[in-house]
Amino acid sequence: MSTYLKAIFKSRPNRFIAICELDGVEVKAHVPNTGRCKELLIGGVEVYLRLSDNPKRKTKYSLIFVVNKGELVSLHSQDANRVVFEAINNGKIKELQGYSEVLSEKTIHNSRIDIYLKKTLNDGSIEDCYCEVKGVTLIKDGIAQFPDAPTERGCKHLRELLKLKKEGHRAVVFFLIQHPAGDYFRPNWENDPQFAETLKRVNSEGVEVLVYKSINTLDEVKIDDKSLDFTLDK
């Protein structure tokens, strides 16, 4: 049985709060996505809220899904980390198989990287990998694009991955398309040329780019274990 409540999106007074109509009553819901999502959160669209049992929260609900282009889109950006982490642990990501240890979040230098992978080779040496996850919800002209709003924090993560690569670690930026209509990826050159340029540069210097998408239902969000094509060009 679904734990989600169907509602209608009305407005978004700030990036953290959405006003929704639930059973004819307006309620406030937390939006767990700091992106603009303006192509998704349009007045009158169908959304799905999750009720929180935390009495300390300012809002009783979280806006988890929105229906767009007939698809259920996940707006829970942090859930992308969980989906990718579980997929790696279950051997669903072919490019990241063979590691004996997979940790969620690893602090190094001045950053906290989403996923850390490690294995010990036959000669006793350590081979590891730092993986930063980015959830993608924006679809333009049938192509998934990131970001939907300029992100200096995203650029910082890319520069950190490049630093780790130059220090001898494997470094991966993993784009999880959380909108099922997206089957191809490019950085959003028009919206954030700095991020796009940085992504293209770090990739040319050895930071790997992986693109997958999630399969979303109200009962489960999991990964489609087929990597997707992408371009980093304009």
Pairing of strands 61-68, 25-30: parallel
- Both tokens assigned to 144: 């998934």
Nearest-angstrom CA–CA distance, 1 and 22: 19
pTM score: 0.95
- The tens-digit pLDDT sequence of the chain (234 residues) is 358 999 999 999 999 999 999 999 999 999 999 899 999 999 999 999 999 888 888 899 999 999 998 999 999 999 999 999 999 999 999 999 999 999 999 999 888 999 999 999 999 899 999 999 999 999 998 899 999 999 999 999 999 999 999 999 999 999 999 999 999 999 999 999 999 999 999 999 999 999 999 999 999 999 999 999 999 999
Nearest-angstrom CA–CA distance, 144 and 125: 39
Q: 149-179: per-residue pLDDT in tens?
A: 999 999 999 999 999 999 999 999 999 999 9
pLDDT at 2: 56
